[in-house]
Amino acid sequence: MHNGISRRSLVALGVCVLSMLLSACSDDPTEQNALLTPQLPFIEMAVRESTIVATGGSTFKQPVAMNGAVNLVGRTGNYTASMALAFYSAYFPTRDTVNVLSATLYLHGATFYGDSTGQLSFTVHRIDRSWNQATLTLDSVQNGFYDASVVRGTYGGTIGLDTEQVAIELDTTMARQWLATPASTDNPNMYGMIPVPTASATVVRGFRSFENDSTGWFPSVRLICRNVAGTVLDTATYYLGVDTFIGNVDNLDSDPKLFYVQAGVVYRDIVNFDVSFIPKGAIVNAATLVLQGDAATTRVNRFAGDTAVAAHLMQGATTSSEFNAVGVSARLVPGSATMYSVDIAHYVQLWVSGSNYGVLLRTDGAREFQSFDLVTVWNHLADASRVPRLKIIYSVPKN
């Protein structure tokens, strides 16, 4: 080796150094051999619990586009519903000289609201202006949306099987316009049709929409046509398009002591709590919102299978759209038919550290866009045993 150091000496030196390192690693950690000795302050926390009641609230009607898996048509009590429907124009061939012998609209049942022995009755009218199923609301159909003077089809019947198919014979003149006019995205003849309930209707029917996962449930129209010479007869069925429904009920919130959570129209609510007594540095461990429902006025369809109410954090002072899109579900307490509860600790924590605009209550899940379900809960004006409550557990530093 160079510099007079033998290979044997180097090996011995390496073994010695390795032994020292292993010996040091096997020692128990102490303040002397620890890499760092942080000096972290320890803050003692006091846990407190408070139950408060709602200090305010409101019920308001909010026009919302439905565009769900079920469209409603009919009338029951003060509720009415009409369905807007249009088949894609690009799927219709251009056949200027064809004679349309029959045009039949087929709809598949899914739900109903009201008396199952009642009368389902509606007329079909041609829509006169362009529309979008993602934005169409009750406000959109008030003036000039469809031609009410000309009936393009009629239907009358009772509720059959849940999944029954109903057939509505349509005006062949309207159907011929679909074939005689070149396809266009802004063609007045292709705006579609709207079934509107008649005064004799006493039940609302839910029909499956184009939003279903099977084309077998889609609305469809069958055209039977014959050429001018009378030599060729053909039948074609079309089942692709767009649809939605427009629901309405006026003066629903007749009891000032109730919150009305109404699907399909829509009615929503805001409930307010004053948490200013909680110090800003507090940690909110849990906050259970408790709502007491009113069984006498709640009307939930048997097809729903759920009565949950969604609670959303309000993010602004208006009642239109300033709320967190992701909500939490207030569900019935096990063993209770009327008491709902949900933890909203995250909401309360934000109230403590910032602005407090309350909690929005709405129909939970897809039911809001395809049903007439109504859940009522007592509000801040109710008696002490039924008013909304908020049980808060929070931690604050000890003095």
Instruction: Report the alpha-carbon distance of residue 231 to residue 157 in Å, rounded.
Output: 37
Q: Please report whether residue 201 resides in a domain.
A: yes
Q: State the Cα–Cα distance between residues 166 and 112, nearest whole angstrom.
A: 14
Task: Check: CB of residue 227 under 8 Å from CB of residue 97.
Answer: yes
pLDDT of 299: 93
If asked whether residues 307 and 215 sit together in one domain, one would say no
The answer as to whether 95 is a domain residue is: yes
Shared domain check, 301 and 182: no
Q: Would residue 143 count as lying in a domain?
A: yes
Q: What is the mean pLDDT of each run of 10 residues along the chain (399 residues)?
A: 45 45 49 53 84 96 93 96 93 85 96 93 95 92 91 95 93 90 63 96 96 92 91 92 96 96 96 96 96 96 86 86 91 96 98 95 95 97 97 92
Residue 286 lies in a domain: yes
What is the model's pLDDT at position 36?
52
| Same domain flag for 233 and 339 | no
54 lies in the same domain as 113: no
**Exposed/middle/buried for 341, CB within 10 Å: 0-12, 13-18, 19+?**
middle
- Count: domains in the chain: 2
Residues 235 and 271 occupy one common structural domain: no
Residues 227, 275 share a domain: no
Give the pLDDT score at 301.
Answer: 86
Nearest to 358 by CA among 294, 251, 272: 272
Which one of 214, 248, 282 terminates a domain? 248
Same domain, 224 and 146: yes
The per-residue DSSP string of 135-184 comes to T--GGGGSSSSB-TTS--EEEEE---STT-EEEEEB-HHHHHHHHHS---
H or E segment and range at residue 248: strand 241-248
pLDDT value, residue 187: 66
Confidence (pLDDT) at 230: 82
Domain boundary residue among 219, 248, 277? 248
Asked if the structure places residue 320 within a domain, the reply is yes
**Amino acid, single-letter form, for residue 399:** N
Q: Are residues 309 and 388 in the same domain?
A: yes
Position 40 in a domain: no
pLDDT of residue 39: 60
Based on the fold, state whether residues 79 and 159 are members of the same structural domain: yes
Beta-bridge partners for 50: 392
In degrees and rounded to multiples of 5, residue 45 shows phi and psi of: -115, 140
Whether residue 277 sits in one domain with residue 388: yes
Task: Look up the domain containing 307 and give its range.
Answer: 46-62+266-397
Q: pTM here?
A: 0.84
Q: Are residues 348 and 274 in the same domain?
A: yes
- Residue 11 in domain: no
Instruction: Compute the distance between CA of residue 32 and CA of residue 26 in angstroms, rounded to an integer.
Output: 14
